[in-house]
Chain A
Amino acid sequence: MKQTKWLSLLLSTGLLLAATACGSSNNTNSNGENASTAAPASAEATAAPGTSENAAKPELKSLNLWSKDDYNTYPLAKVIEERTGYKVKYEMLPADKAMDKLNLLISSAEPYDVITISGEKAVYTDYAKMGALVDLTPLIEEFGDNIKASISQASFDAMKIDGKIYGIPNSSSQFAGADLMIRQDWLDKLGLKTPTTLEEFTEVLKAFKEKDPGGTGNSGAPMSIDGALATTANITGAFGIGTSWNTVDGQLVPAPLHPGFKEYLTYMSDLYKQGLLDKEFAVNKDATLKEKFTSGKIGVIQLPWYDIPGIADALTKNFPDAKYAYLPALKGKDGQMGLGMSGGFDRITFIPKSAKHPEDAIKWINAKLEKETFKLIAIGEEGKHHTYKDGVYSPILPLFTDERGNASNYLTGIDEKLYPIYWQARVQKDARLFAGFSYLNNELPAEARIADPLALAPSLPEYSKNNASLNQMINDFAVKVIVGEESPDAVADFAGKYKAAGGEASTKEVNDWYATVKK
């Protein structure tokens, strides 16, 4: 008796809940379907030239990186369908453990026609070597006129594995991403000039500590960094290790084997000892760091320019008079300086062997790179999504964000000449963000930026395999030295461990390749 009553109660409430919740979601579901089934009709109605063979075009299945919006319902999906004539079903990888999932899907031959993943070449190389990918070289030759016109030979070369092209890259725009940001109003209050050398910078930190312009008492520190980024932008540049690989005597040398590494660590651990660096920096995650800066406890942090708007909002809400500014590239004792630049690829698109329609997939990719279509995907329509004036594209908000904010998710290959220009519309979404970007990349002299020498390197299996764990090792060691748990003299020991853990093989491989491009 009792349990049947209980069961029925549970069942009925459960079903009731499901019914009410799913009732509404069914609506959205069918709405979504209506929208997408309506799309081909409208495409035919508007009869864009070249879409007459619509009926023969199969539906493609595309696998993409995670996005917080559903690829299928985001407005761009429809635009692309109308322009290319291909109906595409998009699926996405999880945000976490994406590569585990991808491995399962690829090894069990799920029939995706197009797969777009992040620009890290390790996975791509693996799959190509395993024979899991379609050789695109002949397909591009036959169906890929726009692809050939858009992507440079250098990018294709970086994709080559045993002489064959298996992937279509989206090369990144090259720029300096992060720098030290300082509380300008603190500098002004103490009547200090913006530091330009490492020495001056140290003096500023000391002044911040002694004179406490922020009135933090003993709860703050002059500078703080992210515990996961113990090799700080700008400061590393002053020691000649502005990027992860730097040239010494014509050879590429990773940080642990570079003489500047020890000097850098000595400098940082001195700051720590003198109380100029946040005692708890090792615990800092991205959010903690921003919290400390915007609540006025810290005067200098490392910050990428795309994070400026959030910081600026919070800072001015808390301190209406607060001003912030990027520091110029600080000069070290030998005049060395520089901010590391990012480079390489944002995305790689490939076609797995299990694809049902490899030819159509290439035709689709090719169609998306047709000049007008590509522009429409990247920044939308002039007058609706963006304006064009004096060679500069500026976004029209909020429609640009609403309908093109996710555009980079839909790009499978880019027009390498035009996209960097289009792309700046993205940076102009926020004036403060643009100011930061512009300072680092336009106002600072060119020699203040150090390009990533590996940006266009081909697939380097050893390097790719060990890169993540080696970087973790470097960071762990750097943190330990800075807090004084290990002495800077331990660098030699560490270099040995680093080599043994795969660093030596990586260094050799990187330099073997470097020798071929130097000629």
Chain B
Amino acid sequence: MTKRTKGDRLLDIFVYLFLIVLGVMMLLPLVNVLSKSVSEEWAITSGKVGILPVGFQLDTLREVISSSMFIRAFCVSVGVTVVGTLISILMTALTAYPLSKRNLPGISFFMVLFIFTMLFSGGLIPNYLLMRQLHLINNLWVLILPGMISVFNMLVIKSYYESLPEALEESARIDGAKTYTILFRIILPLSMPVIATIALFYAVGYWNDYFGPMIYINDTALKTLQLYLQDVVMDASAANAVNKSVDDLMNMSPEGIRAATVVASTVPILFVYPFLQKYFIKGVLIGSVKG
């Protein structure tokens, strides 16, 4: 490394200070929910739980994790997330490649076709009818197929492809490589940072999707974790309490249970990021591939 200038040192101070403040601030909500999930109910009710738990106990978490609905939903979610992410990455990476060749005739047109769907959709009812016709209602594939390609993610990859030096492809072509070979042997390996990124986006997207399961899945055994979480959290919302009978209200989950459900259904997906991080924390050495 070169000698550190005064400006560099100032920059360092700014960088670390900025990030520490940011980190502390953004750690707050999860810590708060975490503390609530292991605190006693009376302390939550009276707002005593801030950063540290009050009256530490693990019963609430245990109760949530051991419920059969939770376990089943967890397993469905893991399955959908893994399978869905793999399919989506493949489809997206493939589709983005031709679209990055913007000087090919017709590509702009196709691009607009894709972008159009980011804004316009048929809405709930036609989509439901379509899924019915395709026999996808109450079928886990309904959670994957209609969202196989996210145009947003595809644009992210496409923009990355475009930033790769053209010389790479050119020299490969001179060596006689075919388009597919170039894509799989040169482009994709160089695109690990962006593929890791959209893998994360897809995984989180599949994991967090509750609307799809809510609409298209009827069978209790096929419900996903986020739908379960959404149900537990939204059951207590004022809007949904209006038509409840007293018995329903007496049976409502206390806040501790809700916090524990949030924790138990959010923490698993949080591990995906650190795992993928190494693919885009270092940066790519294009030279090494080029050589």
Contact = CB atoms under 8 A, between A and B. Distances in A.
A306 B192 contact: no
Interface in B251-267: 251, 253-255
Contacts of A96: 214, 230-231, 234-235, 237, 240
A2 B189 CA distance: 6
Contacts of B227: 94
Contact of A306 (B199, B221, B246, B253): B246
A6 B245 contact: no
Interface string A71-95: 1110000000000000000111011
B231 A22 contact: no
B135 interface: no
A14 B78 contact: yes
B220 A313 contact: no
Interface in B42-70: 42-43, 45-48, 67-69
A170 B202 CA distance: 45
Given A68-B235, A96-B230, A304 B249 contact: yes
A105 interface: yes
A295 B49 CA distance: 12
Interface stretch (B10-18, B108-116, B122-130, B159-167): B122-130
Contacts of A97: 214
Contacts of A18: 75, 78-79, 82
Interface in B218-237: 218-221, 227, 230-232, 234-237
Q: How extensive is the interface on chain B, given as a class?
A: 35 or more
B234 A22 contact: no
Contact of A172 (B46, B195, B235, B245): B245
A313 B41 CA distance: 9
B245 A119 contact: yes
Contacts of B249: 304, 306
Interface string A1-21: 111001100110111011001
A290 interface: yes
Given A18-B75, A347-B245, A228 B238 contact: yes
The 8 closest A-B pairs by CB, nearest first: A14-B82, A346-B245, A291-B47, A96-B234, A294-B46, A408-B247, A22-B75, A314-B45
A287 B255 contact: yes
B155 interface: no
Contacts of A101: 214-215
A170 B248 CA distance: 13
The binding surface of chain B is classed by DSSP as: helix
Nearest to B90: A7
Contact of A3 (B188, B221, B248, B253): B188
Given A67-B251, A95-B235, A294-B45, 11 more contacts: A10-B199, A15-B82, A18-B78, A18-B79, A18-B82, A65-B248, A96-B234, A290-B45, A295-B47, A310-B42, A310-B45
Interface stretch (A25-33, A157-165, A260-268): A25-33
A285 B242 CA distance: 14
A405 interface: yes
A285 B47 CA distance: 13
A108 B128 contact: yes
Contact of A11 (B42, B45, B86, B236): B86
B74 interface: yes
A454 B254 CA distance: 31
Interface string A282-320: 000111001110110000000010100011011101100
A176 to B, nearest CB: 11
Interface of A: 1-3, 6-7, 10-11, 13-15, 17-18, 21-22, 24-26, 28-29, 32, 65-73, 90-92, 94-98, 100-101, 104-105, 108, 110, 118-120, 170, 172-173, 175, 177, 228, 285-287, 290-292, 294-295, 304, 306, 310-311, 313-315, 317-318, 342, 346-347, 405-408, 426, 429, 468
A297 to B, nearest CB: 9
Contacts of B124: 100, 104
B286 interface: no
Contacts of B128: 104, 108
Contacts of B86: 7, 10-11, 14
B130 to A, nearest CB: 11
A314 B69 contact: no
B244 interface: yes
Contacts of A426: 247, 250
B238 A286 contact: yes
Given A70-B220, A71-B220, A96-B240, A311 B45 contact: yes
A242 to B, nearest CB: 18
B245 A110 contact: no
B132 interface: yes
Contact of A295 (B46, B246, B275): B46
A32 B47 CA distance: 39
A285 B236 CA distance: 11
A94 B214 contact: yes
Contact of B71 (A24, A98, A347): A24
Contacts of A290: 45-46
B243 interface: yes
B125 A104 contact: yes
B279 interface: yes
Contacts of A10: 85-86, 199
A394 to B, nearest CB: 16
Listed residue (B45, B220, B255) with the most chain A CB atoms within 10 angstroms of its CB = B45
A306 B250 contact: yes
Nearest to B245: A346
Contact of B68 (A14, A32, A98): A32
B257 to A, nearest CB: 8
A95 B234 contact: yes
B238 A110 contact: no
Given A11-B86, A28-B68, A96-B234, A22 B79 contact: yes
A92 B220 contact: yes
Nearest to A405: B251
Contact of B219 (A7, A91, A468): A91
A313 B221 contact: no
